[in-house]
Amino acid sequence: MPFTCPSSHPAPLFRGPFLFLRHGESTTNRAGIIAGWRDPELTELGREQALQAMAVLAHHPVTSIFSSPLRRAWDTAAPTSRVLGLPVEAVEGLKERNWGDLEGRPLSERPHMYMIPEGGESWEAFGVRIWAALESLDPVPGMPLIVAHSGVMRVIRARLGLSEGAERVANAQPIRLDPPGPGEMAWRETPLDHSL
């Protein structure tokens, strides 16, 4: 898929900085299983991670929250939503990649990202879906928060020209993404400190 940076007239989300939060640890994460469109719950650790992320995000001017409708993302967004008094908008297009027949199998069986899983999405189709969902968002001006999955962040990194080789986003690790400043070409990705 030929990933490109946003146009000179970017969609609302890409006109300023935004935040990304991967869901907390799920039961499939803990078991080392491919989840995809399966809908596992957060583990006890995952719920604690969501609370820790909320404590970090409370120090940032979050103005709107968008989440994958899958329970592991939605339940990760819930503490921040409650504390900040902001509703969470479910966005169907932000679901994780559909891994087809591989869902429920050990992670060790997951093929290279460019391989098309039987009954699932290609990397290209997944990227098109995620990007269309992100471009469709109309956040309140300020600092939108996207709560989703590691695959979604992989698409964001690729599209914004960030390092595709960067480490996988940790569970419930808030990330700030800033657009290029005057005279700059590249977006910037900054993990937010959990020690606040």
Only one residue has tokens 């996207």, namely 146
Closest CA to 147 of 62, 40, 44: 62
- Vertex 123, ends 91 and 156: CA angle to 5°? 55
- From the list 25, 60, 96, 189, the catalytic residue is 96
Calpha distance 141→182 (Å, rounded):
20
Catalytic residue among 23, 25, 121, 149: 23
Task: Please give the single-letter amino acid code of residue 146.
Answer: I
Is 23 catalytic? The answer is: yes
Cα(90)–Cα(139) distance, rounded to whole angstroms? 13
Phi, psi of 134 (to 5 degrees): -65, -40
Give the angle subtended at the CA of 26 by the CAs of 156 and 58, to the nearest 5°: 65
Q: CA 76 from chain center: how many Å?
A: 11
SS3 of residue 66 by DSSP = strand
| Active site residues per annotation | 23, 96
